[in-house]
Structure 1
Amino acid sequence: MRASVWLAFTPQDTLFIRDGRAFDAGVENAAQAVWPTPSTIAGAVTAAFGGREPCEVRGPVLARCDSTGERWTPFFRTPADLVRREETSEEVLRLSPAPAPVGVTTDLGTVPQWLDGAGLAGMGPQWGGWLSGSTMTRYLAGNVAVEPVHPKDASGGSLVHLEADPVDVEPHVGLARGAERTARTGFLYQAAHLRLRQRWGFLAECVVCDGWDAQRRESVPFGGRGRLAWVEQVSGVNWPQAPSASVDGDAYPDGRVAVYVATPALWPEGWMPPLRTWAPGSELVAAAVGDAQPVATATPGERGARPMNRMLRWAVPAGSVYFLKFADSDHATTWAQGKQAQAERQERCGTGVHGTAFGRDPKDRLRTAGFGVVLTGVWK
């Protein structure tokens, strides 16, 4: 039997996390920190439990704590199919796949174009930023319209949206070091660190099994050498809800499932999720995928030693959306939420893919570290 525990990590210093690409301080004079990845948060979780690894870690999830210090509100990358009507417009709309035969023929076949609320083909300028968990629930339920709306008056209520990352960029000056960690004369460089604003942090869902008795530490290394984050167990946090069947409709009408990528995904086929293996019977109708994101993964060293076998990979970025079509709503619901799941699919995907890492074997370390957590919704 598995249980879910949510941990909150509040950095106490700037974040300086590299994405794995080589940086030579003698040639380049600026280094840029990046957002924490699933491998970053999984390492912090393991450290928080004194070196013990839970069955799975799902995160990181950006979150803001209220003034009481008790309630956390999660935020998610704005889905790539939400765009501005124009570059300078405040009106937002949700794209939908263009009906056949509109499309562009490429080496990969006929790729559907997108239609905005006025029936015009094209993508349009992306909205960007972050959506709150409650707004994401409305998005997954299909309540963010394909017609242009103002974010402050959308579908009967405002869309809680952040325009940009809640961080301040701080320049730091560093000195490159040699193999023995001695200074290299003349090798000065500037590094841009990220400092989260007050009451912001990261959440991680930890899936633990029966008999789990590891004691949690109050602080762990996070965001670079010599930097710490406070750790606390929190309650009242969940992934945005999957659609539910209404009185006069199905959860996924006509088997249409929108798959939202909540954490960077590393799939064997690159940008394409492994649907033949992990979503049998589905058809990919369209996708809105951002630029590939470089991430570094590593095999942890023994007893706190530095990570070994560091590898640079290119991930599908969070916020990407895939539009799938199943035979009917029952098949879609079974796959997304696990209702009446077949034994083989149950073994691979657990009780449904919503809120879980997708596309790899259950014990694959990229899956258990939290790469490729997806949420399921509807599209029209």
Structure 2
Amino acid sequence: MVSRVPRPPKGPDTADAATRVWFALRPRDAVQVRDGRTFIAGAGGGARTRRPWPSTVAGALGAAFKAAASGGKPEPRTVRGPFLGRWDSGERRWHLAFPVPADVVPAKRTPRSHDRWTRLRPRSVPARTDLGRDESLWLHANDAGKRDDRNERDLWWGDDSMRDYLHHGTIGSDIRADLLTVERRTGIARQGRTVKHAHLYTSDFLRLREEPDEGWEFLALCELDPDLAPPPPGPVRLGGEGRLADLRVCEEHEGIALPKPPGRFPEGKVLVYLATPAIWRRPARDGGWNDTWSPPLPENARLVTAAIPGPEHVAGVTPESDGTFTNAWLRWAVPAGSVYLLRFTGPDPEGAAQDWAARAHGRAWGEEADNPDRDGRRLATAGFGLILTGTWT
């Protein structure tokens, strides 16, 4: 889908128009994206296979742009994603799927209940934490259960349910856990072309759901400079083990779009939903930057509470032209599906909330050109920390 949209102001100047293009990546086989922790051959190690990170998809797209260019260093201005998308051949359009928000949990099971879900709500309780935010509220529900196993942690629902959740706080009926399947495979560790003695290992791979009537793919939305053309369709590397995916551009008539934000934010209350993992950073005393669980808050806004399942390990490297890698890093990330509840103050809290949400919705926190954290901005433009905004009560 190609359209012209204005970029946000870049300091005193205003950038020229950008081209927005949706890309689809269809894996040819199961994919492997490790979380960056140590892998121990024979014992499985601490490393786990995860869904493709934003940097995984940004790297695949960047390589495709570079291979298609005749010179220079072309790359998208921003890459937003990845998302899961289902191609409906009957309607000839895409349907997006999103991680179920962390404040939507299974209800406690009783002899008369089955597959029932409930919503955590902010509540004031006489308790203190070590987070330094005594005014924060707790998220609570009398009938709340837990997402105990992997299937209940890796949950998805469609774009209609996501829109209703953001606008009205309702829980969709299409929650499912079968979009990604884990395949465990056994391999032999090698050194060059020689097999290491007694080095068998097992590793997990992820496979997108494959059914005759359901074609799932990874999707990403890119902003391109006006003179940068999308690369032609073809195979690109996605994840480890030399796995390939077929890249193509989604056409405008295929109807792909993110859910829109609400029109009003009563009492200045804004719900911030993470559509992709986020690496929030704050200034450190030594002049550097530290990773943190809390996002940089907009002016005149305070964090009321948050629902965060737990930290994730994210690793990355910078590929060189000779096939080697440099600048390896390992960071803590807040997982996709996390929820932050903000409340704006001041003379017009509802107006301030609406103005900020209009600027932030569908973008990554920290991608602005005036962000003093260069590495943080690079992570944001690669897709980390993309948010959708909604309301809460």
Classify the TM-score, shorter chain.
0.7 to 0.9
Q: How big is the shift at 1:58?
A: 0.4
Q: For residue 128 of structure 2, what is the aligned residue in structure 1?
A: 105
Match for residue 199 of structure 2? 187
Code of the aligned partner of 2:128 = T
Answering whether residue 351 of structure 2 is matched by residue 330 of structure 1, we say yes
TM-score, with structure 2 as normaliser: 0.79
The residue type equivalent to 2:362 in the other structure is: G
Among candidates 329, 332, 336, match of residue 311 of structure 1: 329
Q: Which moved more, 1:65-74 or 1:293-302?
A: 65-74
Alpha-carbon distance between aligned partners in 2 of 1:2 and 1:103, rounded to the nearest angstrom: 50
Q: Distance in 2 between matches of 1:267 and 1:189?
A: 34
Paired residue for 1:241? 260
CA distance in 1, matches of 2:104, 2:340: 13
Pick from 217, 225, 247: which aligns with 1:231? 247
1:67-87 deviation per Cα after TM superposition (whole angstroms, max 9, x unaligned): 359422111110011122214
Q: Which residue of 2 aligns with 1:348?
A: none
Distance 1:284 1:181, change over 3 A: farther
Runs of 4+ in 1 over 3 A off after TM superposition: 26-32, 67-70, 359-363
Q: How does 1:173-322 map to 2 (within 5 A)?
A: 173-178=186-191, 180=192, 182-198=194-210, 199-234=215-250, 235=252, 236-244=255-263, 251-269=264-282, 270-275=292-297, 279-302=298-321, 305-322=323-340
8 Å contact 1:56–1:370 — kept in the other structure?
Answer: yes
**SS across alignment from 1:205:** strand
Match of 1:61 among 69, 83, 100: 83
Q: 1:69 to 1:301 in 2, by over 3 A?
A: farther
CA positional deviation for 1:290: 1.1
Residue 307 and residue 204 in structure 1: after superposition, are their counterparts in 2 closer, same or farther (change >3 A)?
farther
Residues 170 and 368 (structure 1 numbering): CA distance in 2 closer, same or farther, change over 3 Å? same
Are residue 160 (structure 1) and residue 174 (structure 2) matched? yes
Question: What do the CA deviations read for 1:70-114 (whole angstroms, capped 9, x no partner)?
Answer: 42211111001112221464332222211x4x2421222424222
2:300 and 2:144 map into 1 onto residues whose CA distance is: 28
List alignment gaps of at least 5 residues for structure 2. 1-16, 68-73, 283-291
Q: Give the drift of 1:253.
A: 0.4
Give the aligned partner of residue 344 of structure 1: none
In the alignment, residue 200 of structure 2 is paired with which amino acid? L
SS at match of 1:273: coil
Instruction: Describe the SS at the equivalent of 1:54.
Output: coil
- What is the CA–CA distance in structure 2 between the aligned matches of 1:207 and 1:368, rounded to whole Å? 10
> Partner of 1:302: helix, strand, or coil?
coil
Alignment-mate amino acid for residue 238 of structure 1: A
- Give the superposition deviation at 1:232: 1.5
* Cα offset, 1:26, TM superposition: 5.1
| Aligned equivalents of 1:231, 1:201: Cα separation in 2 | 10
Asked if 1 retains the 8 angstrom alpha-carbon contact of 2:31 and 2:239, the reply is yes
RMSD of aligned alpha carbons: 2.2
Q: Displacement, 1:160?
A: 2.5
Once the two structures are aligned, what percentage of the paired residues are identical? 41
Indicate how the Cα distance of structure 1 residues 223 and 210 shifts in structure 2: closer, same or farther if over 3 A, else same.
Answer: same
Q: CA deviation at 1:11?
A: 0.4
- Distance in 1 between the 2:38 and 2:308 partners? 25
SS for the counterpart of 1:356 is coil
**2:309 alignment partner, SS class:** coil
Q: 1:29 to 1:83 in 2, by over 3 A?
A: closer
Which amino acid in structure 2 is aligned with residue 85 of structure 1?
A: A
* CA positional deviation for 1:359: 3.4
How far apart, CA to CA, are the structure 2 residues paired with 1:171 and 1:69? 35
Name the CA shift for 1:208/1:371 in 2 (closer, same or farther; >3 Å).
same
Q: Secondary structure at the match of 1:187?
A: strand
Deviation at 1:123, TM superposition (A): 5.5
2:362 to 347, 355, 359: 355
CA distance in 2, matches of 1:35, 1:315: 13
CA contact (8 A) 1:273 1:359 kept: no
| Shift of residue 355, structure 1, vs aligned partner | 0.6
TM-score of the pair, normalised by structure 1: 0.82
* CA deviations over 1:121-177 (Å, ceiling 9, x no partner): x854246511111110110002406xxxxx5xxxxxxx3221x14233323221112
SS of 1:131's partner is: strand
Q: Distance in 2 between matches of 1:215 and 1:27?
A: 41
In structure 1, the partner of 2:182 is: 169
Amino acid at match of 1:188: L
Q: Which amino acid aligns with 1:332?
A: A
Contact 2:38–2:45 (8 Å) recurs in 1? no
CA spacing shift, 1:103–1:375, aligned 2, 3 Å:
farther
Q: Counterpart of 2:285?
A: none
What is the aligned counterpart of 2:117 among 92, 98, 119? 92
Q: Residues of 2 paired with 1:64 and 1:307: CA distance? A: 34
